[in-house]
């Protein structure tokens, strides 16, 4: 093979590497544009989710000032429609139902609190209070034990809560 042939082969190899590099660069450019678009959509969705969450949280906080339980329930439900994971939403709904004397709906609301926030002792204690109102002491004790399982500090809260003074857990 002559020097000219060797240089030609070298030029073809370098050109092929250049074409592969160009294809790789183009693929990465397309990938980055798609990633940029996905990131932008993620940001838009995150801002919208944050806005819905803030709306729901403000409605829950506002509900604390409402004396009429039916109006409070309506406001809390509207908050939960905006964002059903809002902190204290289902707990507040449950207490409004307890105030109305609808202990079954209160228990359902507190179950929602546990479902959305299984790591929060409040839902378990609140559900225990609903079962206490329903005179179901075995379920009341079960949920008090679960509250302590989830957060050992719940034991002190339970001991200080006059509703549970007669309970032996």
**Residue-by-residue pLDDT tens, the chain, 169 positions:** 788 888 888 888 898 999 999 999 999 999 999 999 999 999 999 999 999 999 999 999 999 999 999 999 999 999 999 999 999 999 999 999 999 999 999 999 999 999 999 999 999 999 999 999 999 999 999 999 999 999 999 999 999 999 998 877 7
pLDDT for 3 equals: 85
The pLDDT tens digits of the residues spanning 88-120 come to 999 999 999 999 999 999 999 999 999 999 999
- What's the start-to-end Cα distance of the chain, in Å? 93
Burial class (CB in 10 A: 0-12, 13-18, 19+), 83: buried
pLDDT for 41 equals: 97
Full DSSP string of 34-69: HHHHHHHHHHHHHHHHHHHHHHHHHHHHHHTT---H
101: nearest Cα among 127, 74, 73, 134: 134
pLDDT for 40 equals: 95
154: nearest Cα among 125, 111, 117, 116: 125
**Token pair listed for 82:** 């905006």
**Token pair listed for 144:** 């008090």
pLDDT for 55 equals: 97
pLDDT for 21 equals: 93
pLDDT for 165 equals: 85
**Token pair listed for 104:** 């079954």
CA atoms within 13 A on the CB side of 166: 7
**Architecture in CATH of 87-169:** Alpha Horseshoe (1.25)
pLDDT for 26 equals: 92
Neighbours of 103 (CB within 10 A): 19
pLDDT for 154 equals: 96
pLDDT for 1 equals: 78
């Amino acid at each position: 093979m002559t020097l000219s042939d060797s240089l030609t082969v070298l030029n073809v190899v370098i050109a092929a590497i250049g074409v592969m590099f160009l294809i790789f660069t183009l693929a990465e450019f397309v990938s980055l544009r798609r990633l940029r678009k996905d990131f932008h959509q993620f940001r838009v969705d995150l801002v919208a989710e944050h806005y819905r969450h803030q709306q729901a949280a403000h409605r829950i906080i506002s509900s604390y000032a409402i004396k009429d339980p039916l109006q409070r329930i309506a406001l809390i439900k509207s908050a939960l429609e905006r964002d059903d994971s809002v902190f204290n939403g289902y707990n507040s709904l449950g207490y409004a139902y307890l105030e109305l004397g609808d202990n079954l709906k209160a228990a359902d609301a507190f179950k929602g609190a546990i479902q959305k926030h299984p790591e929060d002792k409040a839902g378990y204690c609140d559900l225990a209070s609903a079962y206490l109102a329903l005179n179901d002491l075995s379920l009341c004790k079960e949920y008090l034990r679960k509250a302590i399982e989830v957060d050992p500090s719940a034991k002190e809260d339970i001991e200080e809560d006059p509703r549970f003074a007669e309970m032996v857990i």
